[in-house]
Structure 1
Amino acid sequence: MSLSVLAIIPAYNEEKSIAQVIRKIKSCRPETDIVVVNDGSTDGTSRAARSTGLARVVDLPVNVGIGGAMQTGYLYADRLGYDIAVQIDGDGQHDPEELDNVISTVASGETDCCVGSRFLHGASYRSTAFRRTGIAFFAWMIHWMVGKKVTDPTSGFRAVNRDVIALFARYYPYDYPEVEAIAMLVRRGYRVTETPVRMHSRQAGKSSITPAKSMYYMMKVSLAVLMTRIRDVR
């Protein structure tokens, strides 16, 4: 029996790239359903996504951030009974040709969550020295806190199974959630693995993580990961 797969695309002001991302997903995996969570965009993101005729679009009335947008996607996946949900960004950085790599170990039952890594087993990705330092810090923190080695803890390119979909539908980290979500899953006994993937530079628009937000990002995420020791998500 084939498993039902939903691609969740959180999108904020991605008018110039979202349609291309949707079409590429359908070209690579025609059987995969797509939902775009338009996170209060002020441009034509919703219109561009709908114009493809290939995706459902959920329009949030205000910008709630990546965590809120992704939880909306997981609620959608949970209520419609999807077996696997895979997050893929709307800016073109995540390559839809890598979807099978991210999904396959979840589909086989080998893992509960598979993260696409830019750095694993020779996969290469160019980023700023500051960002590489931040990624290394979070990798160290996850290993120190929960004993899990992860090479790319900030990667949003990840697939999860039905059990994790249900968990994330109930609770998902709100602000810059990727690192905290990994720590939370490991502490609750879920299996988290990585697979090497290619990633590209953003095709259009700009990242929501500006230099001014970088220090806040590091402090907030560090505190959130520490809080996973005492938080009991039910």
Structure 2
Amino acid sequence: MDKYISIVMPAYNEESRIKDTLDGLKDISYINEVIVVDDGSSDKTFEIASSYPFVKAHKLEKNMGKGYALNYGLKYAIEKSDIIGFLDADLGLTSKEVEKLITPILNENIDVTIAKFPKAKRKGGVGLVKKLAKNGVKYLTGKEIESSLSGQRVFKKEVLMEFDKIPFGYGVEVGMTIDILRKGYSVKEVLVNMTHNETGRNLKGFIHRGKQFYHIALILGEKILRR
């Protein structure tokens, strides 16, 4: 039996990139629908997304954050989907690489796939956030996951049914990875040629990574206390 596959895509002021991102998905026969949740954009993100026949676009009245937008889209996807993917709206044409995340779930009975990006083209931080995430997952699950920060993922529906809602904050991916592994689901990292906006070595980039580090440390502390 064919599996019904949905992609949930939060988007905020992505009018310059979302067209290419959706163009990268339109010829993937596996994908039945893309649910775009415009998170209160002030540009033409919603209008562009709505112009695609395979897209079901939703517009939030105000910016609520990525976690809220994911949960909003998930409640529609989970009604009829067997497989659900999360993708960012700024991937451009490299979004087509999601096919590499879907095939192991269809053909190898994998429960969750995580996109493993190539090395960043420009230097960002000093790797502290990535090390914290990797070491935290290893300590709490015994599994080595290089890409636990990656938000580009595909799930069997039953995995997402384990969560009442997707947690909010910068530590969401790490926390989900730990919970999924602890519940015994199989996780496969898949090397993809995806690219998206990278944070650089500037004040904005360091503030972003500082928030990531703080949120991930909180999540890991919570998980350790509940072991």
TM-score range, shorter chain: 0.7 to 0.9
For residues 174 and 50 of structure 1, do their structure 2 counterparts lie closer, same or farther at Cα, with a shift above 3 Å needed? same
For residues 132 and 60 of structure 1, do their structure 2 counterparts lie closer, same or farther at Cα, with a shift above 3 Å needed? same
Q: Give the equivalent residue in structure 1 for 2:181.
A: 186
For residues 195 and 74 of structure 1, do their structure 2 counterparts lie closer, same or farther at Cα, with a shift above 3 Å needed? same
Structure 1 residues without counterparts, runs of 5 or longer: 204-208
1:90-137 superposed Cα distances (whole Å, 9 cap, x missing partner): 11268233222101122235221110112xxxx444352416332122
Q: CA RMSD of the aligned region, Å?
A: 2.3
Aligned residues of 2:111 and 2:156 also touching (Cα < 8 A): yes
- 4+ runs of 1 displaced by more than 6 Å? none
Aligned residues of 2:21 and 2:92 also touching (Cα < 8 A): no
- 1:147 aligned onto 2:142: yes
- 1:58 aligned onto 2:58: yes
Q: How far 1:9 sits from its partner (Å)?
A: 0.9
Inter-partner Cα distance in structure 2 for 1:93 and 1:222: 31
- 1:105 aligned onto 2:104: yes
Inter-partner Cα distance in structure 1 for 2:67 and 2:30: 27
- 1:216 aligned onto 2:211: yes
Q: Which amino acid counterpart does residue 134 of structure 1 have in structure 2?
A: V
Give the secondary structure class of the aligned counterpart of 1:21. Answer: helix
Give the secondary structure class of the aligned counterpart of 2:96. Answer: helix
Q: How far 1:183 sits from its partner (Å)?
A: 1.1
Q: How far 1:167 sits from its partner (Å)?
A: 2.7
Aligned residues of 1:93 and 1:202 also touching (Cα < 8 A): no
Q: Give the equivalent residue in structure 2 for 1:206.
A: none
- Between the aligned residues of both structures, percent identity stands at 24
Aligned residues of 1:89 and 1:157 also touching (Cα < 8 A): yes
Q: Which amino acid counterpart does residue 110 of structure 2 have in structure 1?
A: T
Aligned residues of 1:17 and 1:91 also touching (Cα < 8 A): yes
Q: Give the equivalent residue in structure 2 for 1:173.
A: 167
- 1:43 aligned onto 2:38: no
- 1:8 aligned onto 2:8: yes
Give the secondary structure class of the aligned counterpart of 2:8. Answer: strand
Q: Which amino acid counterpart does residue 171 of structure 1 have in structure 2?
A: K
- 1:226 aligned onto 2:221: yes
For residues 110 and 211 of structure 1, do their structure 2 counterparts lie closer, same or farther at Cα, with a shift above 3 Å needed? same
Give the secondary structure class of the aligned counterpart of 2:218. Answer: helix
For residues 158 and 8 of structure 1, do their structure 2 counterparts lie closer, same or farther at Cα, with a shift above 3 Å needed? same
Aligned residues of 2:5 and 2:30 also touching (Cα < 8 A): no
Q: TM-score of the superposition, structure 1-length normalised? A: 0.84
For residues 74 and 20 of structure 1, do their structure 2 counterparts lie closer, same or farther at Cα, with a shift above 3 Å needed? same
Q: Which amino acid counterpart does residue 227 of structure 1 have in structure 2?
A: E
Inter-partner Cα distance in structure 1 for 2:145 and 2:157: 22
Inter-partner Cα distance in structure 1 for 2:33 and 2:142: 35
Aligned residues of 1:5 and 1:32 also touching (Cα < 8 A): yes
For residues 34 and 217 of structure 1, do their structure 2 counterparts lie closer, same or farther at Cα, with a shift above 3 Å needed? same
How many residues are aligned here?
Answer: 221
Q: Give the equivalent residue in structure 2 for 1:83.
A: 82
Structure 2 residues without counterparts, runs of 5 or longer: 199-203
